[in-house]
Amino acid sequence: MAKIRRNNLPPALLRHLLDHVQQRHFTASQLALLTDWLDGRPEVPSGRWFKRFPGMYVCGEGELVKTFLTPGQIPNGREIG
């Protein structure tokens, strides 16, 4: 199991993540839950995975968070706790 990488993200990926946060109008409380989870240095599988949060999904692959989805969108991969 890998830990999520929070530093030295590829610039295009970082822009993509920031764009999705802005475009999908996630609230400060949603982002605080995400931050708290990331601060715990969660372990994630090497393949595709997703984590449910109130009003959003965080989707990744291996050590990288790849995108954020809204509840109407369908995540792909293994759900993690």
pLDDT digits (tens, 9 = 90+) for 10-64: 999 999 999 999 999 999 999 999 999 999 999 999 999 999 999 999 999 999 9
Q: Angle CA(75)–CA(78)–CA(81) in degrees, nearest 5?
A: 100
Tokens matching residue 30: 């949603």
Residue with tokens 């993540």, as numbered in its chain: 17
How far, in Å, CA of 73 to CA of 68, rounded?
Answer: 10
Q: Which of 61, 20, 26 is nearest to 44 (CA)?
A: 61
pTM for the full model? 0.90
Phi, psi of 67, rounded to the nearest 5 degrees: -165, 170
The pLDDT assigned to 39 comes to 95
